[in-house]
Amino acid sequence: MFSEYRGIPDQAKLLIYLSFIPNVAIGFIYTDLSYFLPNVQGLAPTLTGVVGSAMGITLVALSIPLGILADRHGRRKMLLLGNVCASLSLIGFALTTNFALYLVIAFLEGTGEAAYAVSVSALIADKAGDQKRTAAFSLLAFLGWVAGALGGFIISSVLALQGLGLDAREAHVVLYVVVGLLNLSITPLLFKITESPVSQVRKGILPRKSGDVLKKYIAYSIAIAVGAGLFVPLMSFWFYKAYAVTDAVSGPVLGVTNLLTAAVVFMSPRLARRFGLVKATVMTQASSMAFMLAIPSSPTFAVAASLYLVRVFLMNLSNPLTQSLIMGLVSPEERGMASGITASLWRLPNSLSQIAGYYLIGLGLLALPFYIATGLYAVGISVFWFVFKDARLPEEAKPQVTVQSSSLDGPEAER
């Protein structure tokens, strides 16, 4: 299994390792924000959903223009912008309780997400090459899940801070500021990533060479994004409503979920080599749906958390596989734009469905988000199979049916 990871180019490994702290920050905010804003800062649950949607709308609005800029003028610049904006948004959420300011901070966070989305996948694909691309994305996912777990674990630090004499709100504020400053501190190290030369200067707005494959992927992605938005980013809030468990308990539990997912995601390259990227993706994601259906009928927090853990690692085992698939099929000079399009058309429906998720959970309809999501996942996974089952990447195609990376006329948060 570890042999799959030998030979990843140094620049790709450097970028993957430098992504660790930003992923801690991402794991922290996405584990806790749905609890922090309504239960600590006093924001109404529906308005909390609006803030989450504002983050997503900003990402959607900026992903395409930032993707164009990344492809034309440098992807490292977008990486730097993303890290700075994400760091400042963490600090901002802690230092105000004003809803209007939260919308400004949401714009800043969405800008950071967009800049990161259009740069990191494209840079890793550039640096790793076809033969090590799937391994590189799997290593990125492995470290990302470990970092996300750490982000969940550190939420329990509020208890230690309260032991020092701070009240619950003060402890949360200090923790958000510390995590934001830690994330900001790695910005100078990102200058060590060298910019990959752009072989061609793109003209126009939409990706001409990669349009067909992106349209097919988006049909799958939207169905999964809407389903995931109904419950995945809201789990700390859902656990509180279902079992009266605070974020000091649910945060570390969600962190364990991330950690165990990291362990299994290390197997992704081996699964891809044995079954192919598409079959491996469909097998793992389809298996996750049975556990998703069982979560809302769980009698205790421990049972629900255990089922959620299994669902998460089965569903997200395929994350590096779908990333590698898209970056392998699209044209290299359009990878920044492709990353922006896939990120934006994931994030918008995902963010909008969060409002519905908050509303349903707030009404006490705790099972309904899971049932709706299961149906949407079934549709999305079926679409993915039918549109990509005949796709072949350069590194896995047989000689007589090799698909050139420039020929795309025939037959990429946590989900």
Which range, of 64-68, 136-140, 322-326, 405-409, averages the lowest pLDDT?
405-409
> pLDDT by residue (tens digit) across 294-304?
999 999 999 99
For residue 406, pLDDT beyond 70: no
**CA gap 107, 52 in Å, rounded:** 10
pLDDT class of 415 with cuts at 50, 70, 90: low
What the block records as the tokens of 368 is: 């309904």
Q: Which CATH class is domain 2-191+205-401?
A: mainly alpha
Question: Which of the four pLDDT bands, split at 50, 70 and 90, describes residue 207?
Answer: low
Kindly give the interhelix angle for 301-316 and 247-265, rounded to the nearest 10 degrees.
30
The larger pLDDT score, comparing residue 141 to residue 190, is at 190
Choose among 95, 109, 100, 101: nearest CA to 29.
109
Calculate mean pLDDT across residues 123-144.
85
Q: Is the pLDDT of residue 410 over 90?
A: no
Determine the straight-line distance between the first and last CA of the chain, rounded to whole angstroms: 25
CA separation for the pair 172, 41 (Å, rounded): 10
How far is residue 413's CA from residue 295's CA, in Å, rounded to a whole number? 20
Q: Alpha-carbon distance 22 to 338, whole Å?
A: 22
Mean of pLDDT over the chain: 83
The radius of gyration of the chain's CA atoms, rounded to the nearest angstrom, is 20
pTM comes to: 0.72
Q: What is the sign, positive or negative, of the torsion defined by CA atoms of 336, 339, 343, 344?
A: positive
183 contacts: CB under 8 Å, gap ≥ 6 = 21, 22, 24, 25, 83, 86, 87, 90
Range picked from 56-70, 189-203, 300-314 for highest mean pLDDT: 300-314
Domain ranges in the chain are 2-191+205-401
Of the two residues 129 and 101, the one the predictor is more confident about is: 101
pLDDT at 400: 39
Interval 390-402 mean pLDDT: 54
